[in-house]
Amino acid sequence: MAIYTPRGLKIRLPIDYSFALMARLYPSVDAFRILKTTEGIESVPQFLVFTTAVVCFLNRISPMGTGILVFTAHFAGYFLMQRGLFLVPGLVGAGTLYSYLSGYGLFITSTIIVGFLTTGWRGLAAYGLARLMGFIVNFLSEGIQARRTFRQTGLAVTASEVHFINAYRLHASRLGLSTDVSVSQWELDEANWGVVFSDLAVTWPEVVSRFTRD
C-alpha cells in the first residue's frame, strides 16, 4: 500500500491512514497541498546545498571551505527535516518552491556554470565530493533509523514516510490542531476521509492514479 506525491515520491502508508490524517486538516488544507509540503520537506537539504554552494562560489571561498560548508548544509537540512525541527521560518516554503522547479536541470546547471566561472574545476570538485559524502552519510543514517524503527514497531519506515508525517504536523500546528499521528478506528472509515480523497481525485487524477491498495 502506498500513496504518491505529485512529483512521484512514494509514501509507503495505507491510503486510509494517510487520508485520515489529511481529513483533520481539510478543507483548510487540502491533500494536494500536504503532498506538496511533503516534497518541500524532502527538498530542503537540496535547497540548502544549492544556496550554500552558490554563495560560496560567488564569494570565492576556498575549495576546502566550500566542501565543508556544502557538506554541513546537506547534513543539517537532513537532520532538521527528519526530526521535524522547522527552526528557520520559511525554510519549508523555500523547499516547496524548489521542488516545483527542480527536475529540469536548472539548479545543477546554474551551480556548475557559476562554480566554474568563479572557482574553476577545484571548486566544482570540492562541491561534488561534499555532495557525495553528504549523500552517503544521510543514506547510512536513514538506514540505521529505519532498522531501529522496524525492530521497535515492525513497520518499514523510510524518509518519505517521515516527511509526510512532518508535513501533517507542520500544518496541524499552524491550525492549532493535534499533532498526534495515532488515529481512531472511526477516522480510518472511508466515510470520514472519502471527501478528501474525492477532492484530490477530481482535481488531480494523475496523482491518485498512482496510488496502490495492496
Cα(2)–Cα(213) distance, integer angstroms: 7
pLDDT of residue 72: 92
pLDDT of residue 52: 95
% the chain with pLDDT above 70 = 93
pLDDT of residue 146: 66
pLDDT of residue 57: 94
State how far the alpha carbon of 96 is from the alpha carbons of 18, 43, 123, 133, in Å.
20, 7, 28, 24
CB-based contact 42:99 (threshold 8 Å): yes
pLDDT of residue 138: 78
CB-based contact 169:86 (threshold 8 Å): no
Residue 212, φ and ψ in degrees, nearest 5: -125, 145
pLDDT of residue 149: 61
- Per DSSP, the three-state class of 11 is strand
pLDDT of 137 over the 90 cut = no
C-alpha dihedral (126, 65, 45, 78), degrees to nearest 10: 110
Residues 4-59: pLDDT tens digits? 999 889 998 899 999 999 999 999 999 999 999 999 999 999 999 999 999 999 99
pLDDT of residue 214: 59
Provide the pLDDT confidence category of residue 60 given band limits of 50, 70 and 90. Answer: very high
Cα(90)–Cα(81) distance, integer angstroms: 13
Residues 96-121: pLDDT tens digits? 888 888 877 788 888 999 988 998 89
Residue 13 DSSP label: S
Q: Which one, of 203, 166, 9, 194, lies nearest residue 91 by Cα?
A: 166
Cα(10)–Cα(7) distance, integer angstroms: 9
Provide the pLDDT confidence category of residue 154 given band limits of 50, 70 and 90. Answer: low
Residue 2 β-bridge partners = 212
Residue 10 β-bridge partners = 4
Name the H helices within the chain: 15-25, 31-58, 63-82, 91-101, 106-153, 159-175, 185-188, 190-203, 205-208
DSSP 180-207: -----HHHHSHHHHHHHHHHHHHH-HHH
Residue 212 DSSP label: B
Residues 155-202: pLDDT tens digits? 567 888 889 999 999 999 999 999 999 899 999 999 999 999 999 999
Three cell numbers written together for 12 = 509507503
More confident residue, 182 or 143: 182
pTM (predicted TM-score): 0.84
Cα(102)–Cα(87) distance, integer angstroms: 23
